[in-house]
Amino acid sequence: MREETGAMQIFTPEMLETMAYIWTRSSVSLIDVRHQSIYPEQPLRQYKMPSSTLVYAYGGTAHVQLNDTAFAMERFGLFHGGKGTLLSITPEEAALRSYMVLFKAETPPFFKKDLQRLLEQVNPFVLQFGYAPSNPVWLVYLFEQMIDNWSRTTAMNHFHTKNLFFQSMHEIYKDLEQEQPSFLQPDPVLSAKRYLDEHYMQPILFQDIADMFAISGGQLTRLFKKREGKSPQEYLTMKRLGAARYQLINTNATMREIADGCGFVDENTLFRMFKRYYNISPGDYRKKLGVMMQGYTIDNHSQRLYNKKGLDHLVKSRRDGELSMFGQARSKEMIVAAAMSLMLLLSACSTAAPTSTGSSSPAPASTQAQMTVDVETNGAEQGAQTRVVQTPQGEVEVPMNPKRVVVASIAGDLLELGITPVGVQVNGSLKDTAYADRATGITVINSFEPEEIMTFDPDLIIVDNEKKLDSMSKIAPTIFLTWDETVLTKEDRVKLLGEIFNKQKEAGQAIEKYHNKIAEAKTRLEEAGLYDSTVTVLGGTIQNPWVGGNVYGIGKLVYDTLGLTPPPAIEKDVFTLGEQWGFPSIEVLPDYCGEYIIYIGDGGDTIHGIDDFGSNEIWEAVPAVIRGNISYLPYTLAWYWDVYSTMAQIDRIVDGLIESAQG
């Protein structure tokens, strides 16, 4: 079959009739049916469709791209492409749910001349298009049924899956048959970003980009700045500077060569822009960061242990460029002492058999995963400035008293220890989090990328994503601490932080305070008679509701920590499957609604988003809705699971439930 790769935005009645005729006379085989969640921090990038593919995504706004065509999706989007089509889906805020059906249309036999001729005119199996379906809930139902039947693996179930797939295609063609189907319009901002990403090293005329979408240069700038928070020119400059940073560290190219290769007019422009954005000259940046590349040469830390305590990771690359073995050497006397100590150690080890020849094993990743922490002070007698802490990922050398800490996601644990980080990654603004009353001295981290983290000049970095360890460790000592309580409990994490910061007493007090808060909350709930009722954690909208499970997060807090009772449907369909969330359709939502509902909204102090439920007769018949037993927890507060935020959540949840009960 001849493959057509252009995106379609117009379907005439004659074309649709031809496409329907082709579908009815072609041999179509299902290859796979898939269901997954796509998160903002883990987008789907450049997925090459292995066959003709139908994709249905829902649950929020997103940028979607089919080959060179970019779309802006609102809540729902259905996309189709042929084999080899490149698909990218990037959610803007919340996670998206997605279904994917992979199918193949067989080449018609030679005697079907009419079918071959029609396929030359229009091939429905390789067309690219994206649109918002008119009946999104019905499509969710069809795709859920496809997933359910496909997973059962019997021939009868797969036969049913194929029937449902044809139903979904019929629903799609009915939409396309409308006079004005809701096609997703190409996104000028996303397309402009892609163009700049690919052509930043060349001279750019922004009006040429605007002309592609028949808009003015000023309109493109306004749209770009509204979406990205910066102008196209600033985005282009940052792209060029990022490329220049890479060249400065990884090559010995001259400033002129780097300027030419990264799109700058000359080296003077490179110097001026680099200094403006990073407060450091390109030359000084190369000197400061170049030493970090030594980690990839002779001292690459990949050699086997000599013994468990002696030579493993003995040489450390310091942030100011010096190589230190026992903390930061501040005088010639200390350097000499360190050298003599090393010589004695080597001479002693040369006559003894090594005690270990393999890499040390990491601590098991479980809640009870031997979370004891060994702290080894390096040269304390000589007044050294660093020490080694044993973390679940191995030994990390940290400052004796960290002063400039940046942290992702668990800042509240530090606040409970009396430590105010200089930088915190949050969703939105600090004022919407539990940290609002402690915001003095804290700056919000937007991207947690190396160039931004460097501006804080940190002496310790705490990440919640293990993939960040390598890049962040090149800037400052870095520790990975997860918020996932199936791996590390809150109590164990606070104990570990207490050891790292020499605040063991404060850590014990924080844990005691947390347990007292839970005990107090349980007493209040019991006195209000709420343990005799069922409670649902609910979020989303009428088109895409979700309910919380008990794996982690708010659901775990409500059901496991506070001990409240879920409705039987949640216990059966969410708890027993070990899911964090459940996604019931609106038709069965009443079964998942308990006598009290805790609604997780989008932010602020009003029940934003719950209004979408109010216009639905099924929702209005839910007993908890009739009685007004709905309390509210802002999504911006519900997202954080450190002890500081969790105690704020407990107060908000208990107050809301009791107020509803007294209502």
Question: What does the DSSP assignment read for 262-324?
Answer: TT-SSHHHHHHHHHHHHSS-HHHHHHHHHGGGGGGTTT-S-SPPSSTTTTTT-SEE-TTS-EE
* HEC letters along 330-391: CCHHHHHHHHHHHHHHHHHHCCCCCCCCCCCCCCCCCCCCCCCCCEEECCHHHCCCEEEEEE
| Contacts of residue 305, Cβ cutoff 8 Å, sequence gap at least 6 | 311, 312, 354, 356, 357, 358, 359, 360
What is the pLDDT, as a whole number, of residue 457? 87
- Average per-residue pLDDT for the chain: 78
Q: What is the pLDDT of residue 310?
A: 39
Cα torsion through 351, 353, 359, 365, rounded to 10: -120
Cα distances (angstroms) measured from residue 459 to each of 417, 447, 527:
18, 19, 48
Domains 387-502 and 512-662 share a fold: yes
**Which parts of the chain register pLDDT below 70?**
1-10, 179-187, 212-214, 290-384, 427-429, 602-615
- How far is 483 from 569, CA to CA, in rounded Å? 27
Residue 304 makes CB contacts below 8 A (sequence gap 6+) with: 357, 358, 359
Give the list of residues 6+ apart from residue 151 with CB closer than 8 angstroms, or none.
Answer: none
pLDDT of 74: 83
When computed from its CA atoms, the radius of gyration of the chain, rounded to whole angstroms, is: 29
CA atoms within 13 A on the CB side of 368: 0
Query: Exposed, middle or buried: residue 156 (CB in 10 Å: 0-12, 13-18, 19+)?
Result: exposed
CATH fit for domain 387-502, picks 3.40.190.10, 3.30.460.10, 3.30.40.10, 3.40.50.1980: 3.40.50.1980
pLDDT for the residue numbered 3: 40
Residues 652 and 147: their CA atoms lie apart, in Å, by 38
In terms of CATH architecture, what is 13-176?
Answer: Sandwich (2.60)
- pLDDT score for 146: 93
pLDDT value, residue 428:
63
Tokens found for residue 403:
């002063």
Name residues whose C-beta falls within 8 Å of residue 546's C-beta, 6 or more positions apart in sequence. 538, 539, 540, 581, 582, 583
- DSSP category for residue 39: B
CA distance 193 to 446: 19
CA-nearest of 622, 628, 632, 625 to 656 is: 632
Residue 84's pLDDT is 87
Map out the domains of the chain as residue ranges: 13-176, 188-293, 310-346, 387-502, 512-662
The contacts of residue 365 (CB under 8 Å, 6+ apart) are 392, 487
As a whole number of angstroms, the distance between CA 545 and CA 590 comes to: 11
Number of C-alpha atoms within 13 angstroms, CB side, residue 143? 27
How many whole angstroms separate alpha carbon 225 and alpha carbon 228? 5
**Which CATH entry fits the domain spanning 512-662: 3.40.190.290, 3.30.565.10, 3.40.50.1980, 3.40.50.1000?**
3.40.50.1980
Strand bridging mode 76-81 / 52-58: antiparallel
**What is the C-alpha to C-alpha distance for residues 118 and 20, in angstroms, rounded to an integer?**
11
Which one, of 82, 81, 64, 84, lies nearest residue 73 by Cα? 64
Question: Which one-letter amino acid corresponds to residue 215?
Answer: I
Q: Is 440 exposed, middle or buried (0-12, 13-18, 19+ CB in 10 A)?
A: exposed
Edge-first strand order for the sheet with 62-66 is: 44-48, 86-91, 62-66, 69-73
How much is the pLDDT for 460? 93
> CB count, 10 Å around CB of 189?
20
Looking at domain 188-293, which CATH architecture does it have?
Answer: Orthogonal Bundle (1.10)
Would you give the distance in Å from CA 147 to the centre of its chain?
25
Is the CB of residue 349 less than 8 Å from the CB of residue 339?
no
**Which pLDDT belongs to residue 483?**
79
Q: pTM score > 0.75 for this model?
A: no
Q: Quick one: angle between helices 188-199 and 232-250, nearest 10?
A: 30
pLDDT digits (tens, 9 = 90+) for 564-623: 999 999 988 888 777 777 888 878 889 999 999 999 875 444 444 455 566 678 888 899
Length of the chain: 663
The answer to whether 71 touches 77, Cβ cutoff 8 Å, is: yes
Residue 234, token pair as written in the block: 């600033």
The number of beta carbons lying within 10 Å of the beta carbon of residue 590 is: 17
The answer to whether the CB of 151 falls within 8 A of the CB of 140 is no
Q: Where are the alpha helices (DSSP H) in 35-179?
A: 113-121, 136-150, 155-176
